[in-house]
A and B are shown apart, each in its own frame.
Chain A
Amino acid sequence: MPPLARPVPICPLRARSCAAVLLCAGVLAVLVGCDEDRPAPPAVVGGDAARGRLLLAQYQCGSCHQIPGVEGARGMTGPALDGFGGRSYVAGFMPNYPDALMRWIVDPPAVKPGTAMPAMGVSAEDVRHMAAYLYALK
Protein backbone atom coordinates (compact mmCIF):
# COMPACT_ATOMS: atom_id res chain seq x y z
CA MET A 1 0.00 0.00 0.00
CA PRO A 2 1.59 3.31 -1.03
CA PRO A 3 2.20 5.79 1.73
CA LEU A 4 -0.46 8.46 2.20
CA ALA A 5 0.50 11.47 0.13
CA ARG A 6 0.96 14.73 1.95
CA PRO A 7 -2.18 16.83 1.62
CA VAL A 8 -1.75 19.26 -1.30
CA PRO A 9 -1.90 22.79 0.01
CA ILE A 10 -4.62 25.06 -1.48
CA CYS A 11 -2.19 27.87 -2.08
CA PRO A 12 0.95 26.67 -3.89
CA LEU A 13 2.95 29.54 -2.43
CA ARG A 14 4.41 29.70 0.95
CA ALA A 15 2.62 31.56 3.72
CA ARG A 16 4.77 34.70 3.75
CA SER A 17 4.47 35.27 -0.05
CA CYS A 18 0.73 34.81 0.20
CA ALA A 19 0.44 37.48 2.85
CA ALA A 20 2.48 39.92 0.76
CA VAL A 21 0.32 39.38 -2.31
CA LEU A 22 -2.88 39.86 -0.35
CA LEU A 23 -1.59 43.07 1.20
CA CYS A 24 -0.67 44.50 -2.20
CA ALA A 25 -4.02 43.54 -3.63
CA GLY A 26 -5.75 45.26 -0.75
CA VAL A 27 -3.82 48.49 -1.22
CA LEU A 28 -4.52 48.50 -4.97
CA ALA A 29 -8.23 47.96 -4.37
CA VAL A 30 -8.34 50.97 -2.09
CA LEU A 31 -6.42 53.16 -4.56
CA VAL A 32 -8.55 52.17 -7.54
CA GLY A 33 -11.67 52.97 -5.62
CA CYS A 34 -10.48 56.55 -5.11
CA ASP A 35 -11.65 59.14 -7.63
CA GLU A 36 -10.57 62.78 -7.92
CA ASP A 37 -12.03 64.63 -5.05
CA ARG A 38 -14.45 66.88 -6.88
CA PRO A 39 -18.15 67.30 -6.47
CA ALA A 40 -20.35 66.14 -9.34
CA PRO A 41 -21.22 68.98 -11.72
CA PRO A 42 -24.69 70.47 -11.33
CA ALA A 43 -27.46 69.33 -13.63
CA VAL A 44 -29.24 71.87 -15.80
CA VAL A 45 -33.00 71.41 -15.84
CA GLY A 46 -34.26 70.99 -19.39
CA GLY A 47 -30.80 71.14 -20.93
CA ASP A 48 -29.71 68.84 -23.74
CA ALA A 49 -25.92 68.63 -23.93
CA ALA A 50 -25.91 67.37 -27.53
CA ARG A 51 -27.96 70.34 -28.68
CA GLY A 52 -25.74 72.58 -26.60
CA ARG A 53 -22.67 71.43 -28.50
CA LEU A 54 -24.30 72.39 -31.80
CA LEU A 55 -25.48 75.70 -30.41
CA LEU A 56 -22.00 76.59 -29.20
CA ALA A 57 -20.80 76.12 -32.77
CA GLN A 58 -23.74 78.05 -34.19
CA TYR A 59 -23.15 81.08 -31.98
CA GLN A 60 -19.43 80.86 -32.81
CA CYS A 61 -18.37 80.83 -29.15
CA GLY A 62 -15.25 79.04 -30.39
CA SER A 63 -14.05 82.21 -32.06
CA CYS A 64 -12.90 83.37 -28.61
CA HIS A 65 -12.81 80.20 -26.49
CA GLN A 66 -11.21 76.81 -26.84
CA ILE A 67 -14.02 74.34 -26.16
CA PRO A 68 -13.34 70.60 -26.40
CA GLY A 69 -15.72 68.83 -28.75
CA VAL A 70 -16.99 71.92 -30.55
CA GLU A 71 -15.83 72.26 -34.11
CA GLY A 72 -13.66 75.24 -34.89
CA ALA A 73 -13.36 76.27 -31.23
CA ARG A 74 -9.78 77.49 -31.11
CA GLY A 75 -10.04 81.03 -29.86
CA MET A 76 -7.43 82.50 -27.57
CA THR A 77 -9.22 85.70 -26.65
CA GLY A 78 -11.15 84.24 -23.73
CA PRO A 79 -10.20 81.46 -21.31
CA ALA A 80 -10.31 77.86 -22.48
CA LEU A 81 -13.37 76.00 -21.29
CA ASP A 82 -11.79 72.58 -20.76
CA GLY A 83 -13.15 70.86 -17.72
CA PHE A 84 -15.70 73.58 -17.17
CA GLY A 85 -17.83 71.13 -15.26
CA GLY A 86 -15.25 71.16 -12.49
CA ARG A 87 -14.60 74.87 -12.30
CA SER A 88 -15.38 76.67 -9.11
CA TYR A 89 -16.14 80.10 -10.55
CA VAL A 90 -17.86 81.63 -13.54
CA ALA A 91 -16.19 84.75 -14.97
CA GLY A 92 -13.71 84.68 -12.15
CA PHE A 93 -16.02 85.72 -9.34
CA MET A 94 -19.43 83.99 -9.37
CA PRO A 95 -19.80 80.51 -7.84
CA ASN A 96 -20.30 78.03 -10.64
CA TYR A 97 -24.00 77.26 -10.53
CA PRO A 98 -26.32 76.97 -13.54
CA ASP A 99 -28.22 80.19 -12.83
CA ALA A 100 -25.03 82.23 -12.63
CA LEU A 101 -23.60 80.64 -15.78
CA MET A 102 -26.75 81.23 -17.76
CA ARG A 103 -27.04 84.84 -16.64
CA TRP A 104 -23.41 85.35 -17.67
CA ILE A 105 -23.80 83.83 -21.13
CA VAL A 106 -26.96 85.79 -21.93
CA ASP A 107 -25.64 89.23 -20.96
CA PRO A 108 -22.01 89.41 -19.83
CA PRO A 109 -21.69 93.21 -19.64
CA ALA A 110 -24.66 93.38 -17.28
CA VAL A 111 -22.95 90.93 -14.91
CA LYS A 112 -19.40 92.28 -15.21
CA PRO A 113 -19.33 95.76 -16.74
CA GLY A 114 -15.70 95.85 -17.91
CA THR A 115 -15.72 92.48 -19.60
CA ALA A 116 -14.63 91.99 -23.20
CA MET A 117 -17.29 89.31 -23.79
CA PRO A 118 -20.23 90.79 -25.65
CA ALA A 119 -23.86 89.77 -25.50
CA MET A 120 -24.53 87.50 -28.45
CA GLY A 121 -28.31 87.36 -28.36
CA VAL A 122 -28.54 83.87 -26.87
CA SER A 123 -32.16 82.98 -26.08
CA ALA A 124 -33.24 81.63 -22.72
CA GLU A 125 -33.96 78.27 -24.33
CA ASP A 126 -30.61 77.98 -26.07
CA VAL A 127 -28.56 78.95 -23.02
CA ARG A 128 -29.91 75.98 -21.05
CA HIS A 129 -28.57 73.55 -23.64
CA MET A 130 -25.24 75.33 -23.85
CA ALA A 131 -24.89 75.24 -20.06
CA ALA A 132 -25.72 71.53 -20.04
CA TYR A 133 -22.90 70.86 -22.51
CA LEU A 134 -20.42 72.99 -20.57
CA TYR A 135 -21.22 71.20 -17.34
CA ALA A 136 -20.62 67.88 -19.08
CA LEU A 137 -17.01 68.88 -19.79
CA LYS A 138 -14.81 67.14 -17.26
Chain B
Amino acid sequence: MISIAAAAAPASQSALHPAGPDAAIIAQLGWVLFGGGALVFVGVMAVCALSLRKGRPVRPLVWIAGAGVLLPLAALSALLVFGVWNSAELIRPSSQHAVKISVVARMWWWEVRYTDPAGGGDIVLANEIHLPVGQPVYLGLSSGDVIHSFWVPALAGKVDTVPGRLHGMTLQADRAGVYRAQCAEYCGEQHARMALHVVAQPPDEFQAWLAAQARPARGGGAGAGQGRRAFIEQRCVACHTIRGVSDGVAAGLGPDLTHVGSRLYLGAGALRNQPGALAAWIADPHSVKPGVRMPASADMDGATLRALAAYLEQLK
Protein backbone atom coordinates (compact mmCIF):
# COMPACT_ATOMS: atom_id res chain seq x y z
CA MET B 1 0.00 0.00 0.00
CA ILE B 2 2.85 2.36 0.86
CA SER B 3 4.53 1.80 -2.50
CA ILE B 4 1.38 2.69 -4.42
CA ALA B 5 1.11 5.93 -2.55
CA ALA B 6 4.82 6.48 -2.98
CA ALA B 7 4.43 6.72 -6.73
CA ALA B 8 1.99 9.62 -6.50
CA ALA B 9 3.04 12.18 -3.89
CA PRO B 10 6.13 14.41 -4.07
CA ALA B 11 8.12 13.01 -1.22
CA SER B 12 9.40 16.23 0.34
CA GLN B 13 6.00 17.29 1.71
CA SER B 14 4.24 13.98 2.21
CA ALA B 15 2.89 12.57 5.44
CA LEU B 16 2.95 9.23 3.66
CA HIS B 17 6.75 9.37 3.36
CA PRO B 18 7.80 9.84 6.98
CA ALA B 19 11.40 10.83 7.56
CA GLY B 20 11.23 11.33 11.29
CA PRO B 21 10.00 9.33 14.28
CA ASP B 22 6.86 11.40 14.91
CA ALA B 23 5.78 11.26 11.30
CA ALA B 24 6.38 7.51 11.26
CA ILE B 25 4.05 7.03 14.24
CA ILE B 26 1.38 9.24 12.71
CA ALA B 27 1.62 7.44 9.37
CA GLN B 28 1.36 4.03 11.02
CA LEU B 29 -1.68 5.11 13.00
CA GLY B 30 -3.22 6.48 9.86
CA TRP B 31 -2.70 3.29 7.88
CA VAL B 32 -4.11 1.11 10.70
CA LEU B 33 -7.23 3.25 10.91
CA PHE B 34 -7.55 3.27 7.14
CA GLY B 35 -7.17 -0.50 6.94
CA GLY B 36 -9.54 -1.11 9.80
CA GLY B 37 -12.07 1.27 8.36
CA ALA B 38 -11.82 -0.44 4.98
CA LEU B 39 -12.48 -3.81 6.59
CA VAL B 40 -15.50 -2.49 8.43
CA PHE B 41 -16.82 -0.95 5.23
CA VAL B 42 -16.42 -4.16 3.26
CA GLY B 43 -18.02 -6.14 6.06
CA VAL B 44 -21.02 -3.85 6.32
CA MET B 45 -21.53 -3.90 2.56
CA ALA B 46 -21.35 -7.69 2.56
CA VAL B 47 -23.92 -7.94 5.30
CA CYS B 48 -26.10 -5.46 3.46
CA ALA B 49 -25.91 -7.58 0.31
CA LEU B 50 -26.68 -10.74 2.23
CA SER B 51 -29.65 -9.13 3.90
CA LEU B 52 -31.22 -8.36 0.56
CA ARG B 53 -31.49 -12.05 -0.29
CA LYS B 54 -34.90 -13.55 -0.11
CA GLY B 55 -35.97 -16.18 2.32
CA ARG B 56 -33.90 -17.11 5.30
CA PRO B 57 -35.20 -15.65 8.50
CA VAL B 58 -32.63 -14.30 10.92
CA ARG B 59 -32.67 -13.74 14.62
CA PRO B 60 -32.69 -9.98 14.95
CA LEU B 61 -31.36 -9.89 18.49
CA VAL B 62 -28.23 -11.75 17.47
CA TRP B 63 -27.45 -9.26 14.76
CA ILE B 64 -28.40 -6.12 16.62
CA ALA B 65 -26.77 -6.98 19.92
CA GLY B 66 -23.91 -8.98 18.50
CA ALA B 67 -22.88 -7.32 15.30
CA GLY B 68 -24.35 -3.94 16.16
CA VAL B 69 -23.11 -3.44 19.70
CA LEU B 70 -20.58 -6.03 20.80
CA LEU B 71 -18.51 -6.14 17.66
CA PRO B 72 -18.07 -2.36 17.34
CA LEU B 73 -17.38 -2.19 21.06
CA ALA B 74 -14.57 -4.67 20.75
CA ALA B 75 -13.12 -3.19 17.57
CA LEU B 76 -13.26 0.42 18.71
CA SER B 77 -11.84 -0.40 22.13
CA ALA B 78 -8.95 -2.13 20.49
CA LEU B 79 -8.38 0.86 18.21
CA LEU B 80 -8.59 3.24 21.17
CA VAL B 81 -5.98 1.34 23.11
CA PHE B 82 -3.74 1.12 20.07
CA GLY B 83 -4.14 4.82 19.28
CA VAL B 84 -3.45 6.01 22.80
CA TRP B 85 -0.44 3.73 23.19
CA ASN B 86 0.94 4.83 19.84
CA SER B 87 0.44 8.52 20.54
CA ALA B 88 2.28 8.20 23.81
CA GLU B 89 5.37 7.32 21.79
CA LEU B 90 5.39 10.75 20.16
CA ILE B 91 8.35 12.80 21.24
CA ARG B 92 7.54 14.96 24.20
CA PRO B 93 8.49 18.59 23.67
CA SER B 94 11.58 19.32 25.67
CA SER B 95 13.87 22.28 25.58
CA GLN B 96 16.75 20.17 26.89
CA HIS B 97 18.28 19.80 23.47
CA ALA B 98 21.47 21.27 22.17
CA VAL B 99 19.85 23.14 19.32
CA LYS B 100 17.05 25.52 20.16
CA ILE B 101 15.27 27.39 17.43
CA SER B 102 12.71 30.13 17.80
CA VAL B 103 10.12 30.27 15.06
CA VAL B 104 7.78 33.24 14.90
CA ALA B 105 5.10 33.00 12.28
CA ARG B 106 4.04 36.22 10.62
CA MET B 107 1.76 37.02 7.72
CA TRP B 108 3.07 35.40 5.48
CA TRP B 109 6.59 34.33 6.33
CA TRP B 110 8.50 32.57 9.09
CA GLU B 111 11.11 34.30 11.23
CA VAL B 112 13.69 31.81 12.45
CA ARG B 113 16.27 32.50 15.17
CA TYR B 114 19.14 30.35 16.38
CA THR B 115 21.35 30.95 19.37
CA ASP B 116 24.89 31.71 18.28
CA PRO B 117 27.08 28.86 19.58
CA ALA B 118 29.95 31.32 19.86
CA GLY B 119 27.93 33.52 22.15
CA GLY B 120 27.32 36.40 19.78
CA GLY B 121 24.00 37.92 18.86
CA ASP B 122 21.10 35.81 17.66
CA ILE B 123 21.35 34.27 14.23
CA VAL B 124 18.25 35.49 12.45
CA LEU B 125 17.02 34.14 9.15
CA ALA B 126 13.72 33.43 7.50
CA ASN B 127 11.71 30.66 5.90
CA GLU B 128 14.37 27.99 6.29
CA ILE B 129 15.40 25.73 9.17
CA HIS B 130 18.48 23.53 9.17
CA LEU B 131 18.91 20.72 11.63
CA PRO B 132 21.37 17.90 12.22
CA VAL B 133 20.20 14.46 11.11
CA GLY B 134 19.24 12.11 13.91
CA GLN B 135 19.35 14.70 16.69
CA PRO B 136 16.20 16.16 18.21
CA VAL B 137 15.95 19.94 18.16
CA TYR B 138 13.64 22.14 20.14
CA LEU B 139 11.39 24.60 18.34
CA GLY B 140 9.76 27.41 20.27
CA LEU B 141 6.77 28.39 18.17
CA SER B 142 4.91 31.65 18.40
CA SER B 143 3.09 34.09 16.20
CA GLY B 144 3.41 37.79 15.60
CA ASP B 145 -0.11 38.50 14.45
CA VAL B 146 -2.78 35.84 13.86
CA ILE B 147 -2.94 32.11 14.46
CA HIS B 148 -0.76 30.15 12.06
CA SER B 149 0.23 26.50 12.23
CA PHE B 150 3.63 24.95 11.72
CA TRP B 151 3.41 21.71 9.77
CA VAL B 152 6.21 19.75 8.22
CA PRO B 153 4.34 16.60 7.11
CA ALA B 154 7.38 14.45 6.49
CA LEU B 155 8.65 14.95 10.03
CA ALA B 156 5.84 15.65 12.50
CA GLY B 157 2.27 16.73 13.07
CA LYS B 158 0.83 20.24 13.17
CA VAL B 159 1.43 22.66 16.00
CA ASP B 160 -0.52 25.90 16.02
CA THR B 161 1.33 29.14 16.59
CA VAL B 162 -0.84 31.37 18.72
CA PRO B 163 -0.04 35.03 19.38
CA GLY B 164 0.86 35.56 22.98
CA ARG B 165 1.73 31.92 23.61
CA LEU B 166 4.84 29.83 23.17
CA HIS B 167 4.29 26.26 22.00
CA GLY B 168 7.23 23.91 22.35
CA MET B 169 7.91 21.18 19.84
CA THR B 170 10.69 18.68 19.48
CA LEU B 171 11.57 17.88 15.89
CA GLN B 172 13.83 15.16 14.59
CA ALA B 173 14.76 14.10 11.08
CA ASP B 174 16.22 10.64 10.59
CA ARG B 175 17.22 11.10 6.94
CA ALA B 176 19.13 13.89 5.28
CA GLY B 177 17.12 15.87 2.79
CA VAL B 178 14.95 18.92 2.20
CA TYR B 179 11.43 18.78 3.61
CA ARG B 180 8.81 21.35 2.80
CA ALA B 181 6.63 22.73 5.55
CA GLN B 182 3.42 24.66 5.09
CA CYS B 183 1.29 26.94 7.21
CA ALA B 184 -1.69 24.85 8.21
CA GLU B 185 -4.09 27.42 9.69
CA TYR B 186 -5.80 29.89 7.40
CA CYS B 187 -4.19 33.23 8.07
CA GLY B 188 -5.14 35.54 5.25
CA GLU B 189 -4.63 36.19 1.57
CA GLN B 190 -1.34 34.38 1.11
CA HIS B 191 -1.83 31.52 3.53
CA ALA B 192 -1.35 29.15 0.61
CA ARG B 193 2.09 30.58 -0.20
CA MET B 194 3.52 30.48 3.30
CA ALA B 195 5.99 27.64 3.02
CA LEU B 196 9.14 26.88 4.92
CA HIS B 197 11.91 24.43 4.08
CA VAL B 198 13.52 22.16 6.64
CA VAL B 199 16.98 21.01 5.60
CA ALA B 200 18.35 18.00 7.48
CA GLN B 201 22.14 17.73 7.20
CA PRO B 202 24.92 15.64 8.71
CA PRO B 203 25.98 17.22 12.03
CA ASP B 204 29.30 18.58 10.80
CA GLU B 205 27.67 20.23 7.76
CA PHE B 206 25.07 21.68 10.08
CA GLN B 207 27.73 23.19 12.34
CA ALA B 208 29.50 24.68 9.34
CA TRP B 209 26.25 26.16 8.07
CA LEU B 210 25.43 27.63 11.47
CA ALA B 211 28.89 29.17 11.76
CA ALA B 212 28.51 30.73 8.31
CA GLN B 213 25.10 32.14 9.20
CA ALA B 214 26.50 33.67 12.37
CA ARG B 215 28.95 35.79 10.41
CA PRO B 216 27.87 39.25 9.27
CA ALA B 217 27.27 39.91 5.59
CA ARG B 218 30.11 39.58 3.11
CA GLY B 219 31.53 42.79 1.73
CA GLY B 220 30.74 41.75 -1.79
CA GLY B 221 33.83 42.93 -3.58
CA ALA B 222 34.31 45.84 -5.93
CA GLY B 223 31.05 45.67 -7.84
CA ALA B 224 28.83 45.41 -4.79
CA GLY B 225 29.05 49.05 -3.75
CA GLN B 226 26.20 50.17 -5.96
CA GLY B 227 23.97 47.37 -4.73
CA ARG B 228 24.75 47.97 -1.09
CA ARG B 229 24.13 51.69 -1.51
CA ALA B 230 20.83 50.95 -3.22
CA PHE B 231 19.81 48.76 -0.26
CA ILE B 232 20.15 51.77 1.98
CA GLU B 233 19.06 54.54 -0.37
CA GLN B 234 15.95 52.68 -1.56
CA ARG B 235 15.01 52.28 2.12
CA CYS B 236 15.03 48.48 2.06
CA VAL B 237 16.89 48.96 5.33
CA ALA B 238 13.72 50.32 6.93
CA CYS B 239 12.22 46.81 7.05
CA HIS B 240 15.05 44.38 6.35
CA THR B 241 18.23 43.81 8.29
CA ILE B 242 21.60 42.87 6.84
CA ARG B 243 23.99 42.36 9.73
CA GLY B 244 27.10 44.32 8.95
CA VAL B 245 25.32 46.85 6.76
CA SER B 246 22.26 48.04 8.60
CA ASP B 247 23.55 47.86 12.16
CA GLY B 248 21.94 50.44 14.32
CA VAL B 249 18.66 50.45 12.41
CA ALA B 250 15.89 48.68 14.27
CA ALA B 251 14.11 46.83 11.50
CA GLY B 252 12.54 43.40 11.74
CA LEU B 253 9.35 44.10 9.83
CA GLY B 254 10.58 41.90 7.03
CA PRO B 255 12.85 38.88 6.80
CA ASP B 256 16.50 39.18 7.73
CA LEU B 257 18.56 39.25 4.54
CA THR B 258 22.08 38.77 5.89
CA HIS B 259 22.49 35.45 4.06
CA VAL B 260 19.55 35.57 1.68
CA GLY B 261 21.69 34.29 -1.19
CA SER B 262 22.14 30.98 0.59
CA ARG B 263 18.43 30.23 0.87
CA LEU B 264 16.64 27.76 -1.34
CA TYR B 265 13.54 29.85 -1.88
CA LEU B 266 12.38 33.45 -1.74
CA GLY B 267 9.12 34.84 -0.47
CA ALA B 268 8.42 31.89 1.83
CA GLY B 269 8.52 29.36 -0.97
CA ALA B 270 7.02 31.58 -3.67
CA LEU B 271 10.07 31.60 -5.96
CA ARG B 272 13.08 29.34 -6.27
CA ASN B 273 16.21 31.30 -5.44
CA GLN B 274 17.76 31.48 -8.89
CA PRO B 275 19.47 34.30 -10.77
CA GLY B 276 16.76 36.73 -11.78
CA ALA B 277 14.28 35.71 -9.10
CA LEU B 278 15.44 38.38 -6.65
CA ALA B 279 15.14 41.06 -9.31
CA ALA B 280 11.59 39.89 -10.08
CA TRP B 281 10.65 39.90 -6.39
CA ILE B 282 12.13 43.33 -5.68
CA ALA B 283 10.59 44.93 -8.76
CA ASP B 284 7.08 43.68 -8.05
CA PRO B 285 6.46 41.16 -5.28
CA HIS B 286 2.73 41.46 -5.87
CA SER B 287 2.84 39.76 -9.23
CA VAL B 288 4.31 36.73 -7.47
CA LYS B 289 2.45 36.90 -4.16
CA PRO B 290 -0.41 39.41 -4.34
CA GLY B 291 -1.11 41.21 -1.10
CA VAL B 292 2.26 40.84 0.60
CA ARG B 293 3.30 43.66 2.88
CA MET B 294 6.35 44.54 0.80
CA PRO B 295 5.77 47.39 -1.65
CA ALA B 296 6.91 47.22 -5.27
CA SER B 297 10.01 49.24 -5.97
CA ALA B 298 8.82 52.60 -7.14
CA ASP B 299 11.61 54.49 -8.77
CA MET B 300 14.51 52.12 -9.27
CA ASP B 301 16.01 52.22 -12.74
CA GLY B 302 17.08 49.02 -14.44
CA ALA B 303 20.75 49.20 -13.64
CA THR B 304 20.12 49.88 -9.95
CA LEU B 305 17.64 47.01 -9.74
CA ARG B 306 20.15 44.62 -11.24
CA ALA B 307 22.91 45.86 -8.99
CA LEU B 308 20.77 45.46 -5.88
CA ALA B 309 19.65 41.99 -6.91
CA ALA B 310 23.21 40.95 -7.70
CA TYR B 311 24.40 42.23 -4.31
CA LEU B 312 21.73 40.25 -2.46
CA GLU B 313 22.35 37.13 -4.55
CA GLN B 314 25.98 37.01 -3.42
CA LEU B 315 25.05 37.25 0.29
CA LYS B 316 25.61 33.54 0.82
Contact = CB atoms under 8 A, between A and B. Distances in A.
B302 A116 contact: yes
A116 B276 contact: no
B303 interface: yes
A106 B48 CA distance: 68
B275 A76 contact: no
Contacts of A114: 301-303
A64 B303 CA distance: 16
A120 B305 CA distance: 14
A71 to B, nearest CB: 13
B272 A116 contact: no
A115 B302 contact: yes
Contacts of B281: 63
Nearest to B267: A63
A68 interface: no
Contacts of A109: 303, 306
A75 B309 CA distance: 17
Contacts of B279: 64, 77, 116-118
Interface residues of B, number: 21
Nearest to A76: B287
B280 interface: yes
B302 A60 contact: no
A120 B306 contact: no
A60 B276 contact: yes
A1 B305 CA distance: 101
A59 B272 CA distance: 9
Contacts of B306: 109, 115-116, 118
Interface in A113-133: 113-121
Contacts of B301: 114, 116
Contact of B280 (A64, A115, A119): A64
Given A75-B288, A114-B301, A114-B302, A119 B275 contact: yes
Contact of B274 (A59, A76, A115, A117): A59
A113 B288 CA distance: 26
A65 to B, nearest CB: 9
B217 interface: no
A113 B302 CA distance: 9
Nearest to B280: A63
Given A75-B288, A113-B303, A114-B301, A64 B283 contact: yes
A80 to B, nearest CB: 11
Nearest to B278: A118
A7 B265 CA distance: 85
A87 interface: no
A75 to B, nearest CB: 5
B284 interface: yes
Contacts of B236: none
A60 to B, nearest CB: 5
A115 B280 CA distance: 13
A98 to B, nearest CB: 21
B280 A75 contact: yes
B23 interface: no
A74 B271 CA distance: 13
A76 B280 CA distance: 9
A77 B272 contact: no
Interface string B266-306: 00000110111101110110111000000000000111011
Nearest to A113: B303
Interface of B: 271-272, 274-277, 279-281, 283-284, 286-288, 301-303, 305-306, 309-310
24 contacts: A60-B272, A61-B276, A63-B271, A63-B277, A64-B279, A64-B283, A64-B287, A74-B287, A75-B280, A75-B284, A76-B284, A77-B280, A77-B284, A109-B303, A109-B306, A113-B303, A114-B303, A116-B303, A116-B305, A118-B306, A118-B309, A119-B276, A120-B276, A121-B275
Closest 5 CB pairs between A and B?
A: A116-B302, A63-B280, A120-B276, A77-B283, A76-B287
